[in-house]
Structure 1
């Protein structure tokens, strides 16, 4: 068998990362196929045109064969009468059930070969969905606009091959393959290359906790991939005790970082990964593999609030759901679902969040589950904060954005906190122009699965007051209807309309302040504490890298608050023109935020 090197190499201007599994070009017209099928007695690779080549059995369930074929060859694996795509396919000839395609990763010639990324503390993240923008080329056209706004990183929702052409991406079943409806591997590389030439990093959301419900054949030939003694919301848990399984996902992360040149990864719902040691191992291997001097950033979504994974050794940061979950009900007065864990003593919870990071640091939730670890010793940059994201908008029954739910002055005040605190801000597509369009949950499943998903989606909301009646639940958009997808496409033409242009101006102003005043001072910034001023009104302080102090006062209540003497620093921003004079008179105006910088003498 041909030896597989694990080194990333720049070849004729391109980059290639050789993985343990999958189809690897060993010369222009020869390909090595490597396939893990521990439940199979015999495996063959079936090439385009009907040629069938038996594969040689190796140790621990691996099969391999080298074939006379090159890039562009379509192939499948055959186990008895079953034909399956390659689980490490780099690209598909259509959808998840179609043949896989041999890819030459070195055909794309990079322009941004000197790009080393940007420091983590300079991240201003813009989350988007590639499909709603018309694929990779549509996102590429958007890059200059985002760079001009002050965005320094775009984060793509998952783009691994999923069933059909419309999906959030969390139903992916071929983690190595670029979704065919979005474009080719080279199209994705062009998007990333263009972003780098504009000084913009690109992050990718990856899903290592489950596979989607359609197109996953692993159970048929690799039963050891899963463990039946532990179940997740999606079924049997992935068995990370298996070396081949660990290698499969670590290689996948390195593929995106080394071959596609992504600047970072966001790991979806790692609380559903039962082996926490795997998370440490993966981060350590990524950091030891990436070229010296190159900035690579790793983020978690983790309901467990595992502070010991954060701060840089393993992962830079975690999506701070606590931050969102306490501010959202303050803005909207909502108190259903998971918001119930955050509305009692909400002001005290916000104080803890701003002063220490996590709200839940070992306390029990309403379900009696203990959640979290102490986080006050972490830097402010260990928390990615957001007012909106795909989950917090799209998982609502009607996909409403905060512009439809919250008073505008209060939302502008919360936006100042989002963009001017030392925590890492994340925006969701359309947020910067105050879009009022929904972002809905959408799929394109087969008829049988579509019905199950539609009914399941509507039943998710049966415990919410408005949806206790079947009549109201029937109003929830059908995820599989093409209209649901079409209604979720952002209309960037709105951004130039007068009422939306004001929002764009606000975001540009706040991001200019962040770039000018905060970027040089953010590395290692830490909270100095926070305090309640009144109900829904708080003051928070952070010590910055040069010894300066950042102070933010936020009042999300409908009433002005009596306060003590104003800070002596430079007023960087007032969300309400009348708020600054009122502050000098001892009042913090309703629905406002004030931001000061006390510079080190």
Structure 2
């Protein structure tokens, strides 16, 4: 089986040669630079430049000369062997023969996500290196691997959110064929593959669109990264198609099973249908035979994108990253109250209870961190599987000054309680690479701008400036200890060490993760496969939390004491204990939960 996604732009191989298409509405002159020669291109309708070259083929190197002096890569390049400033390479997608013809995906409720940064998840830092770890992940209980963004970025190391060529897998990780082999092998093992994509901005180096397609951006919708992406103004049809085809491309040509859309709250669209609606609709229409899962990161907490049909299927997007669940957990467990944790530190137990029960803690509520701002929409009607839950991820670890993991911040017993509740709750769990064995390595912010010293300095100074409002970094000398993101050792320090799993305490942590995920598969999955019937949460004696989720096939209940005194709880006669860290596991009736103790019970319907 061979797969190719046809596109209206980029380099497309045909029987006549290679068709090249560039949208350059604000360029005066465009020439095709092909294998060392230059060919003038005629401007066609609406700013398009197209030609078919019989002397081009797979492997040809090409670019575009803009207005007689600037040579740029193809914004829809499928491969950039020489980084973001080099020429693009023509790729023939049909060369790769897939072996997963029978694969149509897995149901969303079976998902256990594993977020991985390709460059640091293995010693090799490549697609091939990660392929060699897939069996270990499957045996742990992971069912889906989610790659942090891989679109071509400047240099050899980056988180991926500075990508500028969204169709090209970064050459630092391997070839397009290497990525396809990784996905093919994952499917052979029964694993889904997800990709994090960025449609809200481009990185600061290697984005040449301003030079010939100024209409790609708009000053009407500013973002933290500059002018917004133009999805609703003049010329926006091409811009929308550029990103919609990108989603279709990754799902068809690379056979990804799902996409995670970064920070969609920064994609402002005053037109109808909204870009997010059109994007999801086009994807749903394109792959009716496959189980495709679309996940949002959306600070605005807009439940509207997560609605279900009468047969419980997502109408548009499948789920959203549940930042409220994480932030409530973090404030409760660490006591931290600065930055956005300010919105959760006032009543962390109540915030956690509402987030676990209803998905969003903020459902139109005012923010303390951002005075005058209200955030969110009612979400209690949505099933728990509309939310991706996590205790850690790249943001919540890497955006700390020193990249500490949760295991570095709290005692192991409190972490153990949180992990059990996290993995056995009915939301979709996301494990950050190495979390399964409580990895000792940090995950720090890193970039590679070695060829652009002014940009490197700006990033270095900006990183340290981010923390100047935090009490711990008020002293400039302390701020200077923050790792330099441009230093290669910061990147190397962030690589996880798989050898740790052979020794204590990492071996025991991995075993616990495996046991919890096995319990999730056997006991929680049958519940969340059935119809959702609502939830409730209660705060007991000011320090304990009691949350229940009701399903057609039964009820799941979690009780946990986060205080320093014992708490009395009632266990019903039909409730069976699935997990407990209490000294003695109660079976029914009145029970006492000591400090840091929790119980998870299940009541199956007769």
Instruction: Quickly say closer, same or farther: Cα 1:93–1:430, change in 2 above 3 A.
Output: same
Match of 1:10 in 2: none
Instruction: Quickly say closer, same or farther: Cα 1:567–1:125, change in 2 above 3 A.
Output: farther
Task: State the SS of the aligned residue for 2:3.
Answer: strand
Alpha carbons 2:576, 2:587 under 8 Å: kept: no
1:403 alignment partner, one of 399, 404, 407: 407
Confirm or deny that 1:469 pairs with 2:475.
yes
Could you list the runs of 5+ residues in structure 1 that have no partner in the other structure?
1-12
Match of 1:335 in 2: 337
Q: Matched residues in 2 for 1:42 and 1:62: separation?
A: 11
TM-superposed CA distance for 1:452, in Å, is: 0.5
Task: State the SS of the aligned residue for 1:498.
Answer: coil
Confirm or deny that 1:33 pairs with 2:8.
no
Confirm or deny that 1:243 pairs with 2:237.
yes
TM-superposed CA distance for 1:429, in Å, is: 0.5
Alpha carbons 1:542, 1:551 under 8 Å: kept: yes
Match of 2:547 in 1: 540
Match of 2:355 in 1: 353
Confirm or deny that 1:135 pairs with 2:126.
yes
Match of 1:300 in 2: 296
* Larger mean Cα displacement after TM superposition, 185-194 or 584-593: 584-593
TM-superposed CA distance for 1:584, in Å, is: 6.1
Task: State the SS of the aligned residue for 2:505.
Answer: helix
Q: Matched residues in 2 for 1:35 and 1:72: separation?
A: 19
1:65-96 alpha-carbon deviations (Å, 9 max, x no partner): 00011100000011121100000000012110
TM-superposed CA distance for 1:357, in Å, is: 1.3
Match of 2:310 in 1: none
TM-superposed CA distance for 1:184, in Å, is: 0.5
Q: Matched residues in 2 for 1:136 and 1:592: separation?
A: 41
TM-superposed CA distance for 1:534, in Å, is: 3.1
Could you list the runs of 5+ residues in structure 2 that have no partner in the other structure?
308-313
1:241-292 alpha-carbon deviations (Å, 9 max, x no partner): 21000000000000000110000000000000001700100000000011x3
Match of 1:199 in 2: 190
1:550-590 alpha-carbon deviations (Å, 9 max, x no partner): 1111223333212234563221111x251524986621122
Instruction: Quickly say closer, same or farther: Cα 1:536–1:484, change in 2 above 3 A.
Output: farther
Instruction: Quickly say closer, same or farther: Cα 1:584–1:477, change in 2 above 3 A.
Output: farther
Q: Matched residues in 1 for 2:542 and 2:25: separation?
A: 60
Confirm or deny that 1:224 pairs with 2:210.
no
Alpha carbons 1:206, 1:266 under 8 Å: kept: yes
1:141-156 matched pairs, under 5 angstroms = 141-156=132-147
Q: Please, what is the CA RMSD of the aligned residues?
A: 1.4
Alpha carbons 1:380, 1:526 under 8 Å: kept: no
Q: Matched residues in 1 for 2:340 and 2:574: separation?
A: 39
Confirm or deny that 1:57 pairs with 2:49.
no
2:570 alignment partner, one of 564, 568, 572: 564
TM-superposed CA distance for 1:527, in Å, is: 3.7
Confirm or deny that 1:390 pairs with 2:391.
no
1:521-536 matched pairs, under 5 angstroms = 521-523=527-529, 524-536=531-543
Alpha carbons 1:326, 1:349 under 8 Å: kept: yes
TM-superposed CA distance for 1:139, in Å, is: 0.9
1:330-385 alpha-carbon deviations (Å, 9 max, x no partner): 11111111100001122222221122210111111121211100001101101100
Match of 1:75 in 2: 62
Match of 1:482 in 2: 488
Task: State the SS of the aligned residue for 1:520.
Answer: helix
1:103-141 alpha-carbon deviations (Å, 9 max, x no partner): 000111111111010001111000010011211011101
Alpha carbons 1:409, 1:592 under 8 Å: kept: no
Match of 2:52 in 1: 66
Match of 1:447 in 2: 453
Q: Matched residues in 1 for 2:95 and 2:504: separation?
A: 45
Q: Matched residues in 1 for 2:589 and 2:478: separation?
A: 49
2:518 alignment partner, one of 512, 521, 534: 512
TM-superposed CA distance for 1:600, in Å, is: 1.0
1:360-399 matched pairs, under 5 angstroms = 360-366=362-368, 367=370, 368-399=372-403
Confirm or deny that 1:119 pairs with 2:89.
no
Q: Matched residues in 1 for 2:497 and 2:534: separation?
A: 38
Q: Matched residues in 1 for 2:493 and 2:446: separation?
A: 10
Alpha carbons 1:140, 1:194 under 8 Å: kept: yes
TM-superposed CA distance for 1:536, in Å, is: 3.9
Match of 1:272 in 2: 266
Match of 2:311 in 1: none
Q: Matched residues in 2 for 1:232 and 1:223: separation?
A: 16
Q: Matched residues in 1 for 2:28 and 2:562: separation?
A: 65
TM-superposed CA distance for 1:499, in Å, is: 1.1
Alpha carbons 1:383, 1:424 under 8 Å: kept: yes
1:280-299 matched pairs, under 5 angstroms = 280-290=277-287, 292-299=288-295
Q: Matched residues in 2 for 1:83 and 1:448: separation?
A: 22
TM-superposed CA distance for 1:293, in Å, is: 2.7
1:419 alignment partner, one of 410, 416, 423: 423
Alpha carbons 1:540, 1:551 under 8 Å: kept: yes
Match of 2:318 in 1: 316
When normalised by structure 1's length, the TM-score is: 0.95
* Larger mean Cα displacement after TM superposition, 520-529 or 262-271: 520-529
Match of 1:5 in 2: none
Q: Matched residues in 1 for 2:196 and 2:600: separation?
A: 32
Alpha carbons 2:358, 2:380 under 8 Å: kept: yes
Number of aligned pairs? 584
TM-superposed CA distance for 1:591, in Å, is: 1.3
1:515-543 alpha-carbon deviations (Å, 9 max, x no partner): 11222331343542111113342111112
Q: Matched residues in 1 for 2:19 and 2:215: separation?
A: 24
* Larger mean Cα displacement after TM superposition, 295-304 or 559-568: 559-568
* Larger mean Cα displacement after TM superposition, 319-328 or 531-540: 531-540
Q: Matched residues in 1 for 2:602 and 2:33: separation?
A: 65
